[in-house]
Amino acid sequence: MESNAAIVDLEKLGMEIKKDCCLAQYSNTKTGGNVDVVIFPHSLEQLKVSIQLLKQLSTPVVVLGDMTNVAIASKNLNFNVICMSHFVNEPIFDAQNGILTVTAGYKMKQLSRWALNHSISGLQWMEGIPGTVGAGVFMNAGYLAGQEFQDIVIDTQVLMPDLSVQTLSNKDLNYSYRHSSIQGNKGIVLSTRLLVRVGKKWKIRAKMAQYHKRRAKNQPLNLPSAGTVFVPPTPYHVGGMLPELGIIGYRIGGAEISPKSPGFIVGVDHMTGEDYYEMVRFIQRAVKEKYNIELEPEVRLLGFNDDKTE
């Protein structure tokens, strides 16, 4: 009954929690089975208490943001979730030094609009990227060359597993494609400081419109997906290899290799996490056989047999 006791303690403390929660209602892929509890901390104190109480349980804890870069198994899942999407304060702009401080739960799309309204340039590329700033820092999210978090992060506050708060510089984060050192040290992003600049609102708006038009033309924005599936196997490109393999539009269950953007797996008919997972493995096998290249997913695959979370 430790589980019930810990959840009761969380409720007594006024924490925002969801019990027996189906993750499919939150994930961008519309995939995911049930977990015992999802906790939505609003402050550092609540986050620390959540971690301490969840340690009483025998199940692992997975920290997620807006669940935009995950595909999740449909079964009853052997982990609980701390969701940082409500860990939000108003951004703080130091105009003299061009520094914008943003909390982890702030949505990237929302931040780009906030920046526009305050005539802040440098974040236009976020206008169409789903997910939170914390997740963006964690995975070095980005769009085009020179438009990734590694290009604008000054430093980031991180809650470490021992519940100490550390400030990691851009160098400390050891950024590479969709990777940061936080993924290895099991830290939780609390806030980040970004290097930006004051700009002219009309120019910022025009650049955002340009990016939006490009995304709408090239990406299947109207269908459930987790965005680009694989780390680009430099110098090759997955979106170029799959047409050569003749598998564009191929379906497994409700998952489809997007005809509009072959680098995406999209949901076309009640896609399950298992459909998505099997499509990932199918593409990996096909590319390995044809090109002898091992594709690495950048999408997090949670709750499957080879998932180290469980």
Alpha-carbon distance of 206 to 115, in angstroms, equals: 13
The lowest-confidence range among 92-101, 167-176, 212-221, 245-254 is: 212-221
Helix (H, G, I), strand (E, B) or coil at 53: helix
Closest CA to 223 of 248, 259, 274: 259
Q: pLDDT tier at 69 (50, 70, 90 boundaries)?
A: very high
Architecture per CATH, domain 220-302, reads as Alpha-Beta Complex (3.90)
Question: Domain limits of the chain?
Answer: 2-86, 92-204, 220-302
Flag whether pLDDT at 1 surpasses 60: no
* The predicted structure's pLDDT at residue 235: 83
Specify the fold of 92-204. 3.30.465
Scanning 107-266, the segments in alpha helix (DSSP H) are: 108-117, 133-139, 182-185, 201-218, 238-245
pLDDT mean over 148-167: 97
Residue 135's pLDDT is 96
Mean pLDDT throughout 20-45?
95
pLDDT in the model for residue 58: 78
Task: Give residue 125's region: left, alpha or beta (phi > 0; psi -120 to 50).
Answer: alpha
Q: What percent of the chain has pLDDT over 70?
A: 97
In this structure, which CATH number among 3.30.43.10, 3.30.360.10, 2.102.10.10, 3.40.50.300 belongs to the domain 2-86? Answer: 3.30.43.10
Nearest 5°: the CA angle 89, 10, 103 is: 15
Q: Report the range of poorest mean pLDDT among 13-22, 27-36, 101-110.
A: 13-22
Would you name the residues annotated as active-site residues?
A: 178, 298
d(CA 79, CA 307): 11
State percent of the chain over pLDDT 90: 84
Residue 50 has pLDDT above 70, yes or no: yes
- Give the type of residue at 130: P
Question: Does the pLDDT at position 30 exceed 90?
Answer: yes
Name, in order, each residue with C-beta under 8 angstroms of 119's C-beta and a sequence gap of 6 or more: 198, 199, 200, 201, 204
